[in-house]
C-alpha cells in the first residue's frame, strides 16, 4: 500500500486525492496520536493553522480545524502565511502542533497538509506512520466544554515580518530589489519585511486570486523575475515559491543564482561571523559538483544527504550544523528558522551584499557550476527505479564514461509520479547526451 505521507507531508489533487474527509481524519488522528504520547498532558492543547493562497485551502482549512477542535485542540488561525512563518509561530506561540495547508511549488489544483511538532519542527517519520496507520480509529473524544475553541490570530504577518527583519545586521538602504512572490503565501509579508529592513522593493506576482499561485512565476519560472530586474535596474531579484520556503535569485545582469550558489555565499558569510558550526554545510546529493569543489577549496566541509529538506534538517539537528540547503533554493539557517525560509534567505543574501559592498554576481562567483542536466521522466513505475538491472547497468556505464569529471544521479521523486535523471559533465553537450540516453532507458524499462 502506498503511504499517504511523502517527503513533505500529504500532497495531491485537492478534492480528488486530498479531500475534506481525509483532511479531517488526518487531523483527528494526529491529535489522537499526540495526546496518546503525552504531548498535551497537563494543559489544553493548542494548534496553529496557516495556509497558502490556493482556493482549495479554504475548505481544507475548515476540515482541519473541525478535526482538531473535535479532538479537543484549541486552534489559532494564522491565515495566509509562508510555511516557515507557520513553523516560527508554532514555536513562538508555544503551540503543541502546527499545520500548513500548501502544495509548495506544485500547480494550483494540488494542495497538501504538513504537520509540525512543538517547536515548529517536522514530525518524526514514526509519528507520521502512526497517524496514517490509525486513521479513523475509534477513541474517546471530548465533549461539552472540553472541545476545542477556534480563534483568529490577526498579527501573524506583523510578528513574522518583525522576526525576519531582526535577523539583518546591516542596513539595506540603497539596495533595490525585485521580489517575485509567486502569487503565494508571501504576497503580503514579503514586501513588508524587505522594506522594513531598508531595501527599496519592487513586488511582482503579489496579487493572489486563489487560482494564480505559481502560474508562470516564482522560483519555477524565473523569466518573470529576470525581466523585472532588468526593467527596473534592480541590484538583485529573488523568486519565492507558493509557500515561500524556497528562494532563487537573479543578479543585476539577469543571470540566475541558484540554491547552491546562495548556500556558498551564506556559508562563507557564516564562517566569517563564526556561526558556521564545525565549518561545515549540509547539502544533498543533488548539489552541483562545483559547489562541493568550491567549499572544499575554501576549507569548508560538505555533508551530503538524500534529496529533501527534511533529510537536510535531520542531519543538521543530529550533528548540530547551522547551515544546510538544496539546489532548488531550500536554505535552512538553524539560528533563525526550523525549516527552509525563502524570505530569510533573501534578507541574508542582501545583508551579505550590504556588508561587503559586493554585487550578487561577484559573491556568487565563489563557485563555478558544472553543466548539469535534469530530465524528469513521467508515466513510469518509480518504485522499480532502484531494482531494475538493465537500468543499473546503464547508470554504471555512464559513470564509467564520466569518471571523476562528472556525476550521475537517478532517483524517484518523493512528491510526484516520476523519475529524475541528473547528469553533470565537463560540457553541457555531454551532460545532455548522457541524460537523454539514461532517460530513454528509464522509459523503456519502467513504463507503466
User: In the prediction, which pLDDT does 325 show?
Assistant: 96
User: In the prediction, which pLDDT does 388 show?
Assistant: 87
User: In the prediction, which pLDDT does 1 show?
Assistant: 46
Domains of the chain: 5-154 (3.40.120.10), 159-364 (3.40.120.10), 372-446 (3.30.310.50)
**How far is the C-alpha of 276 from the C-alpha of 290, rounded, in Å?**
20
Q: For the chain, how long is the longest CA-to-CA vector?
A: 70
User: In the prediction, which pLDDT does 87 show?
Assistant: 98
C-alpha cell at 312: 537536510
104 is known to lie in a ligand binding site = yes
245 is known to lie in a ligand binding site = yes
241 is known to lie in a ligand binding site = yes
List Cβ neighbours of 235 (8 Å cut-off, separation of 6 or more). 175, 176, 177, 252, 353, 359, 360
C-alpha cell at 22: 481525509
Selected catalytic residue, list 27, 29, 102, 104: 104
List the one residue out of 44, 51, 39, 38 whose CA is nearest residue 117: 39
The pLDDT tens digits along the chain (448 residues) read 468 988 789 999 999 999 999 999 999 999 999 999 988 988 999 999 999 999 999 999 999 999 999 999 999 999 999 999 999 999 999 999 999 999 999 999 999 999 999 999 988 889 999 999 999 998 889 999 999 999 999 999 999 999 999 999 999 999 999 999 999 999 999 999 999 999 999 999 999 999 999 999 999 999 999 999 999 999 999 999 999 999 999 999 999 999 999 999 999 999 999 999 999 999 998 899 899 989 999 999 999 998 878 789 889 999 999 999 999 999 999 999 999 999 999 999 999 999 999 999 999 999 988 998 999 999 998 988 888 899 999 999 999 999 888 899 988 887 678 999 999 999 999 999 999 999 999 999 998 7
**How far is the C-alpha of 273 from the C-alpha of 276, rounded, in Å?**
8
List the one residue out of 7, 264, 283 whose CA is nearest residue 128: 7
Q: Which residues pair with 12 in a beta bridge?
A: 111
Q: Are 305 and 284 in contact (CB under 8 A)?
A: yes
List the one residue out of 118, 135, 99, 115 whose CA is nearest residue 9: 115
State yes or no: is 104 an active-site residue: yes
**How far is the C-alpha of 326 from the C-alpha of 282, rounded, in Å?**
9
User: In the prediction, which pLDDT does 286 show?
Assistant: 85
User: In the prediction, which pLDDT does 311 show?
Assistant: 87
**How far is the C-alpha of 164 from the C-alpha of 92, rounded, in Å?**
13
Amino acid at each position: 500500500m502506498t503511504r499517504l505521507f511523502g517527503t513533505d507531508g500529504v500532497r495531491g489533487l485537492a478534492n480528488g486525492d486530498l479531500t475534506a474527509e481525509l483532511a479531517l481524519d488526518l487531523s483527528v488522528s494526529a491529535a489522537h496520536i499526540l495526546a496518546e504520547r503525552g504531548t498535551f498532558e497537563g494543559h489544553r492543547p493548542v494548534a496553529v493553522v496557516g495556509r497558502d493562497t490556493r482556493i482549495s485551502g479554504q475548505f481544507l482549512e475548515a476540515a482541519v480545524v473541525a478535526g482538531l477542535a473535535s479532538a479537543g485542540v484549541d486552534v489559532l488561525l494564522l491565515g495566509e502565511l509562508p510555511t516557515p512563518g507557520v513553523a516560527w509561530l508554532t514555536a513562538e506561540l508555544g503551540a503543541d502542533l502546527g499545520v500548513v495547508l500548501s502544495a509548495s511549488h506544485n500547480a494550483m489544483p494540488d494542495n497538501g497538509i504538513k504537520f509540525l511538532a512543538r517547536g515548529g519542527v517536522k514530525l518524526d517519520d514514526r509519528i507520521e506512520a502512526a497517524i496514517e496507520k490509525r486513521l479513523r480509529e475509534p477513541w474517546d473524544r471530548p465533549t461539552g466544554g472540553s472541545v476545542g475553541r477556534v480563534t483568529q490570530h490577526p498579527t501573524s504577518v506583523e510578528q513574522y515580518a518583525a522576526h525576519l527583519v531582526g535577523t539583518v545586521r546591516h542596513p539595506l538602504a540603497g539596495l533595490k530589489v525585485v521580489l517575485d512572490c509567486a502569487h503565494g503565501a508571501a504576497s503580503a509579508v514579503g514586501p513588508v519585511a524587505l522594506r522594513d529592513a531598508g531595501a527599496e522593493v519592487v513586488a511582482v506576482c503579489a496579487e493572489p486570486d486563489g487560482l494564480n499561485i505559481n502560474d508562470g512565476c516564482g522560483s519555477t519560472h524565473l523569466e518573470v523575475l529576470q525581466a523585472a530586474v532588468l526593467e527596473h535596474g534592480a541590484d538583485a531579484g529573488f523568486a519565492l515559491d507558493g509557500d515561500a520556503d524556497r528562494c532563487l535569485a537573479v543578479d543585476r545582469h539577469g543571470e540566475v543564482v541558484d540554491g547552491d550558489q546562495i548556500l556558498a555565499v551564506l556559508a562563507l558569510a557564516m564562517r566569517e561571523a563564526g556561526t558556521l558550526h564545525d565549518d561545515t554545510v549540509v547539502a544533498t546529493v543533488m548539489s552541483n559538483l562545483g559547489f562541493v569543489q568550491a567549499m572544499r577549496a575554501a576549507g569548508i566541509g560538505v555533508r551530503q544527504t538524500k534529496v529533501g529538506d527534511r533529510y537536510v534538517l535531520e542531519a543538521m539537528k543530529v550533528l548540530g550544523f547551522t547551515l544546510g540547503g538544496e539546489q532548488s533554493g531550500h536554505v535552512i539557517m538553524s539560528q533563525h528558522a526550523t525549516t527552509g525560509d525563502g524570505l530569510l534567505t533573501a534578507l541574508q543574501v542582501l545583508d551579505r551584499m550590504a556588508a561587503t559592498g559586493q554585487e550578487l554576481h561577484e559573491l556568487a562567483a565563489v563557485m563555478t557550476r558544472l553543466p548539469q542536466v535534469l530530465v524528469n521522466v513521467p508515466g513510469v513505475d518509480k518504485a522499480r527505479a532502484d531494482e531494475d538491472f538493465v537500468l543499473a547497468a546503464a547508470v554504471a556505464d555512464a559513470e564509467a564514461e564520466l569518471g571523476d569529471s562528472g556525476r550521475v544521479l537517478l532517483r524517484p521523486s518523493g512528491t510526484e509520479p516520476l523519475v529524475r535523471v541528473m547528469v553533470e559533465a565537463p560540457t553541457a553537450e555531454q551532460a545532455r547526451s548522457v541524460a537523454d540516453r539514461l532517460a530513454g532507458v528509464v522509459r523503456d524499462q519502467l513504463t507503466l
